[in-house]
């Protein structure tokens, strides 16, 4: 899953074992169903929306920033 706004956050499901990242990603709980915990790695870019708008407005590389 990826969301875009002021930032961009991507979660990658890693299964039932808590992840350990060598790249400084955040290990987090994705969800818990029927007592089984599923984990994820999360990566964050905090100016993604601004970067998309810049590509549209200044470089005109995107037809629509949405």
Query: Which band of pLDDT confidence, cut at 50, 70 and 90, is reported for residue 1?
Result: low
Helix, strand, or coil (residue 24): coil
Within a domain: residue 66? no
CA 40 to chain centre: 11
For residue 21, give its domain range. Answer: 2-57
pLDDT digits (tens, 9 = 90+) for 4-62: 666 778 899 999 999 988 888 999 999 999 999 999 999 887 777 788 888 899 999 98
Within a domain: residue 63? no
The pTM of this model reads 0.61
**How many domains would you assign to the chain?**
1
Within a domain: residue 6? yes
Residue with the two structure tokens 């949405």: 66
The residue among 56, 58, 57, 17 whose CA lies nearest residue 40 is 17
């Amino acid at each position: 899953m990826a969301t875009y706004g002021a930032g961009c956050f991507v979660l990658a499901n890693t299964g039932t074992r808590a992840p350990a990242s060598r790249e400084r990603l955040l290990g987090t709980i994705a969800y818990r169903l029927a007592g089984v915990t599923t984990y994820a790695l999360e990566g964050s870019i905090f100016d993604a929306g601004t970067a998309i708008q810049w590509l549209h407005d200044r470089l005109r590389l995107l037809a629509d920033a949405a």
